[in-house]
């Protein structure tokens, strides 16, 4: 068994697609219309095009919005992405205007930082030894 798909809840799929591809560097895997405004929209790492897909899932259900907004209010990231060097990625993303409510922090053997994905989520990046 392996993870094939996971999701982040986004308030605007077009804005999310721009952020996740143009800023973070993911690539579009699937973009299939679902009705008049929603899409089955996934991105993957260019380093692993056959790897785990991230679904940019529209906030359709009221409970989803409550869940996401409560996590943000409590400062809890919805997802975590691995990077080779948190400090370098932090500097690169800050240079692109990304807001970090938590700057890089050493937490035992890992280094973490948390950014705002502009779509309603906090996302953590981490470097592990």
pLDDT in tens, 68-118: 999 999 999 999 999 999 999 999 999 999 999 999 999 999 999 999 999
* CATH at residue 44: 3.10.180.10
For the chain, the domain total comes to 1
Contact 100, 113 (CB under 8 A): yes
Q: What is the mean pLDDT of the chain?
A: 96
CA distance 5 to 127: 22
Domain ranges, residue 17: 5-127
């Amino acid at each position: 068994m392996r993870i094939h798909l996971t999701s982040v809840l986004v308030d605007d799929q077009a804005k999310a697609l721009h952020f996740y591809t143009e800023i973070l560097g993911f690539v579009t895997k699937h973009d299939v219309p679902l009705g008049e405004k929603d899409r089955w929209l996934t991105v993957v790492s260019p380093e692993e095009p056959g790897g785990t897909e991230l679904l940019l899932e529209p906030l359709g259900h009221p409970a989803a919005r409550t869940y996401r907004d409560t996590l943000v209010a409590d400062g809890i990231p919805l997802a975590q992405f691995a990077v080779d060097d948190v400090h370098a990625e932090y500097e690169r993303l800050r240079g692109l205007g990304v807001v970090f409510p938590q700057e890089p922090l050493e937490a035992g053997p890992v280094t973490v930082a948390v950014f705002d994905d502009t779509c309603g989520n906090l996302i953590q990046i981490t470097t592990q030894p």
